Amino acid sequence: MVCDITGMDVANASLLDEGTAAAEAMQLCHRFELLKYIFVFSQLLSLYIKDATGKEVYRLALQTREQHIRRDKATSNICTAQALLANMAAMFCVYHGPNGLKHIARRVHNATLILAEGLKRAGHQLHDEMFFDTLKIHCGCPVKEVLDRAAQRQINFRVYSDGSLGVSIDETVKEKDLDDLLWVFGCESSAELVAENMNEENKGILATAFKRTSKFLAHTVFNSYHSETNIVRYMKRLENKDISLVHSMIPLGSCTMKLNSSSELAPITWLEFANIHPFVPLDQAQGYQQLFRELEKDLCEITGYDNISFQPNSGAQGEYAGLAAIKAYLNGKGEHHRTVCLIPKSAHGTNPASAQMAGMKIQPVEVDKDGSIDLAHLRAMVDKHQDNLAAIMITYPSTNGVFEEGVRDVCDLIHEHGGQVYLDGANMNAQVGLCRPADYGSDVSHLNLHKTFCIPHGGGGPGMGPIGVKKHLTPYLPNHPVIALQDNDGRSLGTISAAPWGSSAILPISWAYIKMMGAKGLKHATEIAILNANYMAKRLEKHYKILFRGARGKPFKKSANIEAVDIAKRLQDYGFHAPTMSWPVAGTLMIEPTESEDKAELDRFCDAMINIRQEIADVEEGRMDSRINPLKMSPHTLTCIASSSWDRPYTREVAAFPLVNLRNKSSCNFTSQYLFYRVLHF
């Protein structure tokens, strides 16, 4: 869709907002040309210039999980970006199609032409006659008069530094809105009268060489679903191909796929919260300001930190912001040479990529046989790099599922040698109400509000990754060129998102979750989450090796030619989304049940895993072929099960309904692993 509309060859799916998209494009040009200078058009929006000047920028790329493989050599530290919002944009284009989009564009442009004509009749001057939907207006009367009249109609304008005003029109603008705009600028005619008296030859930009003549969105999908009936059915067909939380638990380890309750989500659709621009004057957003203050107070109490910045749009952006704050703090002390970041192999997979983007040099730290940080190796690395040590990035509990008993000693060791401690908040769901990162020595953390604090992140967001910091890092938190968040003393790390408070419209979700749960509820949720994980580990330990309780290795690969991917695919036949696979250790599955699942659902998942273990035993003991068996041929599609022919050495019932409780399962598979492998092999 993006390629069609822009005429470009490749589009990137890992973008967070306009600011980081612009930074992406500039960084891409820099990497391609290896030159030092980027020329910025003087009339480009200043927000983008601010985002690109004097600070590191994200390098977002086509691959979204590569950081778990390439670590510090990854081109992105983004896990899932905001794919959910990208899907919304895609469905907008699917529904309207090329003709619908052109109709919307003509309507927007015509409304802008009417406004421009009325402004000129009222004695105002346009900065440029070549426009589409945005006008820069040099007022023919005192600007204050216009702004006072605008306030009476509850209209905000962009005020340029030279005193001119900016107006943008979109398809939501109605005739009444145009009438109000014309009145604000002193035009005595209505929009209808202005339009009636306009020259029919006035076609604006459509009469210039800028008018597009090439075809776009020619694919069938953009030309088929233009009624509500058809688009809903199309989206439902796509939904049927997903295994989501409405079907069963999603056991993705370190992803915290917990309940996003309707009581938390409903408020973001209310007019009191929705459809407010991030740059409105603060006296028009006092409710949001109160929400920010209360949520910051609650998060500080939960984490022990002194201040919170809500600007980061994702956990990955939060990592970058936290590290950038550390770097700015060290630079402010004159310690520019401190650039080494120690990262244990048990830390979250995005950490090395984030540290590299923040301009740090990564040094890995080993883990011991129990999965904890190897303290002896850590001390050796600290001694080796003590003069240049900037920080350590740790995850607590670690991605190995271990609560580091020596976490306080780790923090003390880093501080003794002049470094800062970044604690990744990916697994904060196991800490809330039980312990606080700042209390055991952390200086800064990001919080995945789309994990621990209930903002949805299945399907890719939208996320929020605010960072909490100790007091000494507060002056270095992100600022913003439009709405000042910090004293302009030059210490702030800069701006990392296009909006001052990130994706602020979803913050009511976390605010509501914390208020409804209360202190006791939050603590109880954490206890249940830990209990659920340990219960599942206990049930499965006789059937699978729980990593760091036994020898490493890939026993099923050796004994039955079965790999983690085979188990992950087979779980789809049991109605479950796969756990996190082959990370943080290759050949493993990482499971996180969260507190949202009851014992019955935990048992259903454990029963599936235990039955799969028996299927592996059938291969190990020769009762099933090592190449043609329920795991290697999974997942079994609806087409496969309903086919008139069946040539496999096991029954259709074993394929699709391996357990009795699956006869009423609500999901079915559409793609087979076997076919997938055949295509790859070909």
Q: Where are the alpha helices (DSSP H) in 273-314?
A: 286-303
Task: Tell me whether residue 240 is in a domain.
Answer: no
Give residue 292's domain range.
Answer: 276-502
Angle at 525 between CA 520 and CA 529, to 5 degrees: 150
Query: What is the model's pLDDT at position 1?
Result: 74
Give the pLDDT score at 61: 30
> With 90 as the cut, is the pLDDT of residue 94 above it?
yes
Confirm if 398 and 371 have CB atoms less than 8 A apart.
yes
Instruction: Label residue 552 by pLDDT band (50, 70, 90).
Output: very low
Asked which of 59-63, 87-91, 142-146, 236-240 is least confident by mean pLDDT, the reply is 59-63
Which of 46-55, 384-393, 479-488 is the least confident region? 46-55
pLDDT in tens, 323-373: 999 999 999 999 999 999 999 988 877 888 888 888 999 999 998 887 889
Residue 559 sits in the same domain as residue 643: yes
Among 24, 52, 80, the domain boundary falls at 80
Q: With respect to residue 214, please indicate whether it lies within any of the assigned structural domains.
A: no
* Three-state secondary structure string covering 598-649: CHHHHHHHHHHHHHHHHHHHHHHCCCCCCCCCCCCCCCCEHHHHHCCCCCCC
- Among 61, 80, 99, which residue terminates a domain? 80
1-20 average pLDDT score:
69
Domain assignment of residue 189, yes or no? no
More confident residue, 493 or 52: 493
For residue 136, being part of any structural domain is answered with no
The enclosing domain of 379 has a CATH number of: 3.40.640.10
Which of helix, strand or coil describes residue 432?
coil
482 plus 387 within the same structural domain:
yes
Q: Are residues 487 and 522 in the same domain?
A: no
- 294 and 413 in a single domain? The answer is yes
Residue 485 in contact with residue 502, Cβ under 8 Å? no
Q: Is the sign of the CA dihedral 8, 10, 16, 22 positive or negative?
A: negative
Helix (DSSP H) and strand (DSSP E) numbers for the chain: 22, 13
CATH of the domain at 574: 3.90.1150.10
Mean pLDDT of the chain: 85
- Of 80, 100, 132, which residue constitutes the final position of a domain? 80
Contact criterion met (CB below 8 Å) for 631 and 566:
yes
Asked whether residue 445 falls in the same domain as residue 393, the answer is yes
Q: In this structure, which amino acid lies at residue 24?
A: E
Residues 530 and 661 in one domain: yes
Q: Are residues 479 and 552 in the same domain?
A: no
Cis omega (within 30 of 0) for bond into 142: no
Query: 529 and 406, same structural domain?
Result: no
Tell me what percent of the residues of the chain surpass a pLDDT of 90. 56
Tell me: do 300 and 348 sit in the same domain: yes
What is the count of structural domains for the chain?
A: 3
Q: Measure the CA–CA gap between 592 and 589, rounded to whole angstroms.
A: 10
Residue 508 is predicted with a pLDDT of 96
Whether 674 has a pLDDT exceeding 70, the answer reads no
pLDDT for the residue 678: 31
Average pLDDT over residues 175-197: 95
On whether both 288 and 385 belong to a single domain, the answer is yes
Tell me whether residue 113 is in a domain. Answer: no
Structural domain includes residue 4: yes
**Mean pLDDT score, 68-96:** 72
Percent of the chain with pLDDT over 70: 87
Same-domain check for residues 497 and 543 = no
Cis peptide before 658 (omega within 30 of 0): no
99 in a structural domain: no
Per-residue pLDDT tens digits for 206-230: 888 888 889 999 999 999 999 999 9
Does residue 362 belong to any structural domain of this protein?
A: yes
Residues 390 and 336 in one domain: yes
